[in-house]
A and B are shown apart, each in its own frame.
Chain A
């Protein structure tokens, strides 16, 4: 019988595949009809396919495995525990990430605030310039009529009356304002 099968399979190496696929209902119509025709004509081939089928059916003798009564519950609990364990690091990472973002935003806010304050604080005050040259501006018309620069410098000398006079005048004006 086995020899017959080997003879059958020698010219066509796929014969065993065809027979098994035939048993499994996996052949296309044309192939199935061809195998059926060969089976009808070849008793040895019928014997061989019968052997294949019998051997396959013997697998049915193996006992089926059944899980214990608590298997479902223990499995679900195990999965829940493991999933929770695995979720912790990710939660921690997410928390770290969230806090990192918050800190970065806070840093950015304070940085911008400090930069703005510095810009405002360091910017030259136009009023300060006016105040510093208040005495000159006040007497500009009179000073413009003096062509001698050296004389103008002497007018500004505190030992004469430049600074003292200007301070008195300035303070007096400020108070009156």
Chain B
């Protein structure tokens, strides 16, 4: 008995940490969400969320698209890398993580100067005559392609910033797949497409699911991307919450209520995804 108590001692710092920085803030959010400025209980914060439905929809749609794009780009990359030798894998993984060593804001500012109307891409396109060509072909008179301040730019920002979070978990799962299972499938006459479809992909699903979670959750709550790449005219959930705390409209009660609803939506999405994932795996096993 005494020994067991001693063994759990090392966990105390983290339990303390978690209580202080995870549980207490969550309780505060809940308290704020259900109270008014005068301190009394109210549900008004939640009823006023209705007028921001568009922001919720926009955030969910954009982050779902970004997650899908990350998966489409990230899975093949993770797969191809995992087929290479250990040195190549180490270098490739390092290169994929390299941008994350640079500050998030800095990377986003760089994208701004690439996408701007007078930015790198538009200047290049007009210099080599592509813009003029488009104008002649379609009878337009534009002097630049609308790249920045669009939903596309926001999605691009999400994909660029969160792609590594998709590749890394998928890669680490594929690498661990027992070669024997693949050989067994081949011995039984499966061609490479079938091997991938029936063996490798199903076995890599846990990685895919954690990749989806790790891209979707930060995307849906991101808050500076829409301001910098979207011009701040199409707000996302994170910006709406930021506005209630740090921006022009100070209302921490509404901000907390929105945060709470967002958390519930994210958790619901995750639950559905996990259920779906379990089903897939079982189906494959059967």
Q: Do A and B come from one complex?
A: no
